[in-house]
Chains A and B, each alone.
Chain A
Amino acid sequence: MDFWLSYVTLAAIYVLLGLSTNLLVGIVGIFSVSQAAIFGVGAYIVAHFLMAADPISFLPALAIAAACCIALNVLVTLPSLRVSGDYFVVTSFGIQLLATAVFTNWTGGTGGANGLPGIPPPDLWHRPLEDAWQVMALCLAACVLGCVCFFLVMRAPYGRLLRAIREDELAVAAAGKNVLRAKVSAAALAGAFAGVAGGLYATFLSFIDPSSFDLDSSILLLTMVVVGGARTLVGSILGPFLLLALPQVLTMIDIPTTFAAAMRQLIYGVLLILFMLFRPQGLAGERL
């Protein structure tokens, strides 16, 4: 039972990350490989405020984390306004490496490579959610809220504007639309999703370390979007649920745990290649 609880909780958190990545990469076409870094900042900020000598409660901490991640994601996405497509991937790669370096070496703030243990569980109006069911309900609620936002955005003229920007920025400007404002606001929205996911992740696991927010994690998020499907809500939900099930399936096979981790990376890589070659639209999406 515990296994299912933690699986669903984690998947709900990753759906938020999937939405964040899909919005930026799939819809607007800003090819970010640093979404895990934003996720990490959200996690560390919430952990910091809950573990402070004078702790604040979960929701305000989450709001602060979301606000910081909005600002940060806008900042790291700004280069995409100047450098296009392929060049931005390199910039974004650098941002991810920078973030990992900070997470690993700033021992005073992040606990360094040892991570931060003992993060208290989330609370709602000072009532701690000790029970795993309650935490799952909280994460699912956040996930559903995220999905509703994503759905509304995609259905509105804003979604059409973002998709048009991915295809041809110049034509969007020629149609009298403000490309800069649309891109910045999309980055803000994606930042909010990632920040909230980070806060939920930190309090759910009660322990965080840099390995959850490194380049591998960013690539895992991209794999989720590719496998699930770009630009669709269903794709953003399917990807995380399927890819997070994989490690669990591997534990059922009788192989040593050290081997399982390598096996998982291997399978992720193979999946990414196979999907790109044979089904670029993912399971339920459109061509990236």
Chain B
Amino acid sequence: MSAYLQVDGLDKSFGGLHALQDCSFTIAQGRITCLVGPNGAGKTTIFNAITGFLRPDAGTVAFRGETLDGLSPQAIVRHGIARTFQNLRLFTDLSALDNVLAGMLGQPGEGPLGAIFRPMHTARAQREYVARALATLEHVGLAARAREKVRNLSYGEQKLLTVARVLATGAELLLLDEPASGMSAGALENIMALLRRLQGEGKTLLVVEHNTRVVQQIADDVLFLHQGHLMAQGTPRQIINDPALAEIYFGGAI
């Protein structure tokens, strides 16, 4: 049986910078895998390569046995992989509800012809989608803020909203780029509980995370990336207790 997500020999250079070097790993279905490593290790580059935002110089990515090479970002979302961004990239002028709706696929009236010539059909379908989007917001704990413009939400709420937006796509593999960074202690517990809940619902998560406490609490597997290469793979305990990795992670100063 082939792996759920298989990343094989990815290479990517930006000028003289070797962002990814023969990077290979696999991810098992239904697990939370944390991607860790020092700044510049290539964590976000890996995300970009898997989700089609970046074309690698070499290597392949396969999802459930199907290759994703050369597919556009939107095609990859339709295959069932969706991602968040480290800098959120929410639609700040739109409401929280509209942000979630913007992530839902296959809505009638998403082109001009459907919008103009089938207004009743569009409106009827929209009521269903709105109900589903509200349920998604409820799920991440933002139901009360649904009609609020994103710019008026707190940073923690905005982070939850990015998760709601990837959930809206219906994807089963979620790539979350630092979902817990910059959050207060209370909000942190909140988002860790949410990630656990998503796992319970059958989602598979690949999470970039810096906070070792978070990694220890949520990760089933940890991938340690260094200079664009997979350096180690193991349980959180194995990775965190490895002195060689700690040396790389925290730098030679310690």
Contact = CB atoms under 8 A, between A and B. Distances in A.
Interface of A: 149, 152-153, 155-161, 163-164, 167-168, 170-179, 181-182, 185-186, 188-189, 286
Interface string B96-125: 001001110101111110111001001100
Contact of B107 (A149, A157, A167): A157
A174 B73 contact: yes
Interface string B73-92: 11001100011010001111
Contacts of A188: 112
Nearest to B125: A157
A20 B101 CA distance: 25
Contact of A175 (B103, B108, B123): B103
Given A157-B101, A172-B102, A176-B78, A163 B93 contact: yes
A152 B53 contact: no
5 contacts: A155-B115, A156-B115, A157-B122, A163-B91, A182-B110
A160 B74 contact: no
A189 B102 CA distance: 21
Contact of A170 (B82, B89, B93, B112): B89
A176 B106 CA distance: 10
Contacts of B126: 156-157
Contacts of B101: 157, 160
Contacts of B74: 173, 176-179
Interface in B21-79: 51, 53, 72-74, 77-78
A88 to B, nearest CB: 20
Main secondary structure of the interface of A (DSSP, over half): helix
Contacts of A181: 111
Contacts of B103: 175-176
Q: Which residue, of A152, A155, A163, A174, has the highest number of chain B Cβ atoms within 10 A?
A: A174
A241 to B, nearest CB: 24
A167 B93 contact: yes
Contacts of A170: 53, 85, 89
Contacts of B119: 152, 155-156
Contact of A164 (B91, B112, B123): B91
A168 B87 CA distance: 12
A152 B169 contact: no
A167 B92 contact: yes
A158 B93 CA distance: 16
A163 to B, nearest CB: 6
